[in-house]
Amino acid sequence: MKAPAPLEALTEALRRLPGVGARSAQRFAYHLLQHDREGAALLARALSEAVTRIRHCSRCNTFTELEVCETCSSPRRDPSQLCVVETPADQLMVEQTMAYNGLYFVLMGRLSPLDGIGPKQIGLARLLERAADPALREVILATNFTQEGEATAHYIGELLRARGLKVSRLARGVPVGSELEYVDPSTIAQAMRDRRSV
């Protein structure tokens, strides 16, 4: 006795999702077929639509339906600043701060040599090409403050400074609204070193 072929195929396909093993894939498949066939049909359509319509902005590399995304083609944006982030989600977070009005480059990842993700995989050649824009004055590195994000910022910073660009990094420090007691010591140490006159 075997599971019917379309069920096997669905379980296999669900395993393509990152971090989803055989058990979770089976649970997802059973759930959709038993309790949410509408959801399954919806997901099928959403996948097809996204694969067909979503591509990368030729300027900033983010996901978009256009050749050049709305942010990149906006005349209200300051073309002298370029903020480098890891993902579109990070880009949305920076936008929500209302503290930045320049342009973006989205790496769609970070350097992670152990996972085989090198400069080629995160499209650094395209970033360097983008950074050759004569209107550009400053590149702000806003990769994550994880080990890999820091290493990525360091690597990119070196390359861009070698091309004569001004490169900056988001300040490290104590999160706004937090109590020192609950902030980890390495963050406080960093904030101490980067203390500024008031």
Residues near Zn ion (CB under 5 A) are 57, 59-60, 69, 72
Q: Does 188 bind its own copies (CB under 8 A)?
A: no
Among 21, 39, 118, 175, binds its own copies (CB under 8 A): 39
The residues, ordered by sequence, that sit 6+ positions from 138 with a Cβ below 8 Å of its Cβ are 80, 81, 82, 102, 165, 166, 167, 168
One character per residue 103-122, x = contact with its own copies (rule: CB under 8 A): -----xx-------------
**Residue 144 contact among Zn ion, its own copies, none, beta carbon within 5 to 8 Å by kind:** none
Number of other residues whose CB lies within 10 A of the CB of residue 2: 6
Q: Which stretch binds its own copies (CB under 8 A): 2-10, 134-142, 146-154, 163-171?
A: 2-10
For residue 55, the one-letter residue type is: R
Q: Does 91 bind its own copies (CB under 8 A)?
A: yes
Binding partner of residue 143 among Zn ion, its own copies, none, CB under 5 to 8 Å per kind? none
Min dist CB 68 to Zn ion, Å, is 6
65: contact with its own copies by CB under 8 A: yes
Q: Give every CB contact of residue 37 below 8 A, 6+ residues apart in sequence.
A: none
Asked if residue 75 lies in contact with residue 83, where contact means CB atoms within 8 angstroms, the answer is no
**Considering the rule CB under 8 A, would residue 92 count as an interface residue with its own copies?**
yes
Pick what 60 binds: its own copies, Zn ion, none; C-beta below 5 to 8 Å, kind-dependent.
Zn ion
User: Does the footprint of its own copies cover residue 14 (CB under 8 A)?
Assistant: yes
User: Pairing relation of β-strands 63-64 and 55-56?
Assistant: antiparallel
Long-range pairs of 122-127 with CB within 8 A, sequence gap ≥ 24: 122/152, 123/61, 124/156, 124/159, 126/61, 127/61, 127/84, 127/156
Q: Which residues of this chain interact with its own copies, rule CB under 8 A?
A: 1-7, 9-10, 12-14, 16-19, 24, 26-34, 36-37, 39-54, 63-65, 70-71, 87-89, 91-92, 95, 108-109
